[in-house]
Amino acid sequence: MKTVLTTSPNEAARFIKKRGIVAFPTETVYGLGANIFDVAAIEKIFTAKKRPFDNPLIAHIQSLDQLENLVSEISEAAEKLIEKFFPGPLTVVLPKANNVPVIATAGLETIGVRMPRNGLAQAFLSECGTPLVAPSANLSGKPSPTTWEAVYEDLADRIDCILKGQTTEIGIESTVVDCTGEIPLILRTGAVTFEDLQKVIPKSKVYEFVESEKQKSPGLKHKHYSPEARVILVDFKEKMDSPGRKAAFIGLEQPIQGFDLVKKCSSYEDYAYSMYEFFRECDRENIETVYCQEIDEKGIGLAVMDRLRRARAK
Ligand code: TXA
Ligand code: MG
C-alpha cells in the first residue's frame, strides 16, 4: 500500500473509518492508531510494526465519557490521577470492559487508557469518533518516533496514512500506572514524574520486576528503543577514554574532542526530547558506539535513565 501523508485530521480519520491504520502525533511520541473495536485493523498494527502479539496496546480517548465503554471500574486512586493529569502524558491501567476485544490488551483483563493533550491528536480522535488503540509508530525494537519523518522511515508503505504534525513536545512515552490494586504502581516512568504522582497519591510506587513473578507490563520485557550502535552509559565525572571510530555522544556537558556526532542537551527535559531522534541520527550516520551521559534519577531523569538502560540491553 502507498502511505498517504496529510495534515488534515479529517482526511486521516477517513482511513480509520475505512478500517485502516494511521500514524498521528501526540505530546509524547507519534502513535499508530486503529479503531479499538475493529479487530482486523488492530491486527494490521501488529503486522506493520512486527510487534509481538503478547504486548498490549494503550487506548487513546478524547473525552472522559469514552472511558466508560472501555473500563469496568475506576478506583479512587485512578479518579484522582485522571482528574489531575488528563489530558496529558499519563496512562492509567484499569480492569477492562467486556466489549474491548482481547487482541487490544493482548489477552489481559486490564486496559491502559490515556487522553493525549496534543491539539492535532485531539482533533483527529474527535474526527474518528471512537477511541483508538495506539502503540508508538515505530518498528518494534526501534526508538519511538518523535517526528513524522521518523514514522515514515520505519513504516512507509506498511500503513495507510501519516497525519503530519510537529516534533513531539516531550519525546518519550507516557508514564504507565497500574491502578488496579491498593497502591498505584508505576509500570513505566515518563514525563508525569514519580514526584508528581506522589504529590497526588503519596503511596505510589515504582514497580520493580521480580524474575519469579509474571511481568505486569508485558511490553517491558521486549527489547526496546535501541539504535543499531552499541550504547554505553558514562558517568561524566570519571575520565572518559578517547572515543573510538564512529562514536557519538549525548549528554549535558561538552565531551572531549573526537566524536563524530555530539548532542549537548540544555536540561533533563531537553535530553528526553532529543534522545530518540539522536539515536536515529546515529543509525543514519552508521555510528558504532553511542556514549550517553548518566543523569540523576530525579524528575524526568528517572525516565531518561530507564530508556537508556533498555537501549543498552541487547
Ligand atoms: O506515550 C505513549 O504511551 C505512546 C503514545 C503513542 O501514546 N504509546 C506507547 O505505546 O508508548 P506502546 O505500545 O509503545 O507502549 C505501551 C506500553 C507497553 O510497555 C505495555 O506493556 C504497557 O504500555 N501496557 C499497555 N497496556 C497495559 C496493560 N493493560 N497492563 C500493563 N501494561 C500495559
Ligand atoms: Mg513502543
Cell of 2: 502507498
Which residues of the chain have a pLDDT value below 70? 211-213, 219-224, 237, 239, 314
3-state helix, strand, coil in the chain (%, to 5): 30, 20, 50
Report the pLDDT value the prediction gives residue 42, as an integer from 0 to 100: 98
Report the pLDDT value the prediction gives residue 212, as an integer from 0 to 100: 63
Residue type, 116: P
CA distance 158 to 192: 32
End-to-end alpha-carbon separation of the chain, Å?
32
pLDDT tens readout for residues 92-109: 999 999 999 999 999 999
Count other C-beta atoms under 10 Å from residue 306's C-beta.
Answer: 19
58 CA distance to ligand 1 middle (Å)? 5
Report the pLDDT value the prediction gives residue 225, as an integer from 0 to 100: 73
Report the pLDDT value the prediction gives residue 314, as an integer from 0 to 100: 63
pTM over 0.85: yes
Cell of 31: 502513535
Element (H, E) at 186: strand 185-188
Report the pLDDT value the prediction gives residue 223, as an integer from 0 to 100: 59
291 CA distance to ligand 1 middle (Å)? 27
Task: Spell out the alpha helix ranges (H) of 68-224.
Answer: 76-85, 119-128, 148-155, 194-200
Q: Using CB atoms within 10 Å of the CB of residue 244, give its burial: 0 to 12 exposed, 13 to 18 middle, 19+ buried.
A: exposed
Q: How far is CA 150 from CA 147, 153, 183, 200, in A?
A: 5, 5, 37, 35
104 CA distance to ligand 2 middle (Å)? 14
Count other C-beta atoms under 10 Å from residue 9's C-beta.
Answer: 22
| Shortest-distance Cα residue to atom 21 of ligand 1 | 219
Cell of 176: 504507565
Q: Is the CB of 168 under 6 A from ligand 1?
A: no
CA distance 247 to 245: 6
